Amino acid sequence: MANTLLTIQMITREALRVLVNNLTFTTKVNRQYDDRFGVEGAKIGTTLNVRKPPRYVGRVGQALSLENAVETQVPVVLNTQRGVDIQFSSADLALNIDDFSARFIKPAIASVANAIDWDGLQLYKQVYQSTNITNPGTTPAGLTEYLGAGVKLDESAAPIDGERYMIVNPDAQAALVGALYTYFNPTAAISSQYTKGVMGQAAGFTFAMDQNVGRYTCGTRDNTTPITATALTSLPSATLSVTGADATVTFKEGDVFTIADCYSVNPQSRQATSSLQQFVVTADATADGAGAVTLPISPSIIASGPFQTVSGYTTGKALVHVGTASTGYAQNLAFHKDAFTLACADLPLPGGVDMAARVSDKQTGLSLRLVRAYNITNDQFPCRLDILYGWACLRPELACRVWSK
């Protein structure tokens, strides 16, 4: 029986299916499809403010003690439009969908999928919790550092609900599969390690490899010159003034440091943990000629109240940075699903073209548009495939960076 000519709707649906199958990090995060984005006419810059749940201190005793319900918001901005442009002939439309997908769709979608994953994995720069900080230039060959990442998530009250993931680069995967194959269960997963070289569940995480794991190069600051934190004019504070740095050294967005005697707290009980609070620099900064600089940081330094982040703060304490100055490190990511989100919108279907189709999937939160024209001279169908999306780090406390070479 002759093949039925492929329609643009069939091609678009196949493209969406292939895209989902090629995503690694993206399939592990919160991808709730929001109806406010799912309308025709979406454009770059569309913003959705996602509410974060309020916290309360609570009371002791019978006396009423009302607290304000403070809801914070994180903007998710649809600021990235990616796509790929392909061309095929009218004869190609007589192929079956599997052959057409192998020849045209899969090679095209691979670049889009990798770009989406890469964009998402760059969110590590907003994550302050880190492990393997004493020797970040080595790749963990055992579970110790990954268990440490689990501790960080536990101390931050991350849910223990089977939605914790660990995304590692190829080097870390090779080290883990070779050293810990007996720890990944069940038996079928162990078999998969032998046959496919992939991982399963261990240390409270579902492991997966992604070649797009970010690589971070530290600023020129170092730990050989004592850098001390100065007094805070008010709390909470999203900036920290420090002195004692070498003149004109740089602090890069993504730099992680601790402050002596400044410990993290459990976000629910607000009791101090045994771990120093880690902070991340949220924008590049350069010390002046006297070695002074004001660093924008996350989390904010909050010493009391429902959103308390530290056990206390004392002026004149030393900063200790993770990593060697001007050195690059892989940023493997441990996280709970709700740490990050990807939002996607329906792009408009234009008129005046040969054909246009759009496929949206509420389960995956993805929406693809395919627009087709026709070149009568060459009997070719030039097509453009587009996706509009935005990434956001909703709750950085639910993630942890595992540094490695």
Selected residue with higher pLDDT from 147 and 190: 147
Q: How confident is the model at residue 35 (pLDDT cuts 50, 70, 90)?
A: low
Q: Which of 100, 111, 71, 46 is nearest to 392 (CA)?
A: 46
Interval 68-95: pLDDT, tens? 766 677 888 888 999 999 888 888 888 8
Interval 299-333: pLDDT, tens? 999 988 888 999 988 888 999 999 999 999 999 99
375-381 contacts at long range (C-beta below 8 A, 24 or more positions apart): 379/89, 379/90, 380/87, 380/88, 380/89, 381/87, 381/88, 381/89, 381/90, 381/93, 381/354
Domain boundaries, the chain: 1-58+70-212+328-405, 219-326
Residues 6+ apart with CB under 8 A from 168: 176, 207, 208, 209, 210, 213, 332, 402
Interval 106-130: pLDDT, tens? 988 898 999 999 999 999 999 999 9
Residues 6+ apart with CB under 8 A from 52: 71, 72, 73, 74, 394, 395
Interval 199-235: pLDDT, tens? 678 889 999 999 999 999 999 998 888 888 887 877 7
Rounded Cα distance between 260 and 265, Å, is 15
Rounded Cα distance between 182 and 167, Å, is 19
The pLDDT of residue 312: 87
Model pTM score = 0.85
Average pLDDT, integer, range 181-190:
57
Helix, strand, or coil here: 144? helix
The pLDDT of residue 184: 55
CATH class of 1-58+70-212+328-405: alpha beta
Q: Which of 308, 314, 333, 313 is nearest to 212 (CA)?
A: 333
